[in-house]
A and B are shown apart, each in its own frame.
Chain A
Amino acid sequence: DGGITQSPKYLFRKEGQNVTLSCEQNLNHDAMYWYRQDPGQGLRLIYYSQIVNDFQKGDIAEGYSVSREKKESFPLTVTSAQKNPTAFYLCASTSTGLPNQPQHFGDGTRLSIL
Chain B
Amino acid sequence: GNSVTQMEGPVTLSEEAFLTINCTYTATGYPSLFWYVQYPGEGLQLLLKATKADDKGSNKGFEATYRKETTSFHLEKGSVQVSDSAVYFCAVPNFGNEKLTFGTGTRLTIIP
Residues of A within 8 A of B (CB): 4, 6, 31, 33, 40-43, 45, 48, 50, 58, 90, 92, 94, 96, 99-108
B99, A96: Cβ atoms closer than 8 Å? no
A102, B103: Cβ atoms closer than 8 Å? no
CB nearest to A45 among chain B residues = B99
Q: What distance in Å separates the Cβ of A40 from its nearest Cβ neighbour in chain B?
A: 8
Interface residues of B in 9-44 (CB under 8 A from A): 31-32, 34, 36, 41-44
Residues of A within 8 A of B82 (CB): none
Residues of B within 8 A of A (CB): 31-32, 34, 36, 41-46, 49, 51, 89, 93, 97-100, 102-105, 107
B42, A108: Cβ atoms closer than 8 Å? yes
A101, B97: Cβ atoms closer than 8 Å? yes
Q: What distance in Å separates the Cβ of A49 from its nearest Cβ neighbour in chain B?
A: 10
Task: Report the bound CA distance from A59 to B84 in whole Å.
Answer: 31
Residues of B within 8 A of A108 (CB): 41-43
B97, A100: Cβ atoms closer than 8 Å? yes
B42, A42: Cβ atoms closer than 8 Å? no
Residues of A within 8 A of B99 (CB): 33, 45, 48, 58
Residues of A within 8 A of B45 (CB): 105
Task: Report the bound CA distance from A43 to B43 in whole Å.
Answer: 11
For A107, give its contact among B42, B97, B104, B105 (CB under 8 Å).
B42
Residues of A within 8 A of B105 (CB): 41-42
Residues of B within 8 A of A107 (CB): 42-43
Residues of B within 8 A of A31 (CB): 98
A99, B97: Cβ atoms closer than 8 Å? yes
B43, A42: Cβ atoms closer than 8 Å? no
What are 23 A-B pairs with beta-carbon distances under 8 A? Answer: A4-B43, A6-B43, A31-B98, A41-B105, A42-B102, A42-B103, A42-B104, A43-B44, A43-B89, A48-B99, A90-B43, A92-B44, A96-B97, A100-B31, A100-B97, A101-B93, A102-B32, A102-B46, A102-B49, A103-B100, A104-B46, A105-B45, A106-B43
Residues of B within 8 A of A50 (CB): 98
Residues of B within 8 A of A99 (CB): 32, 97
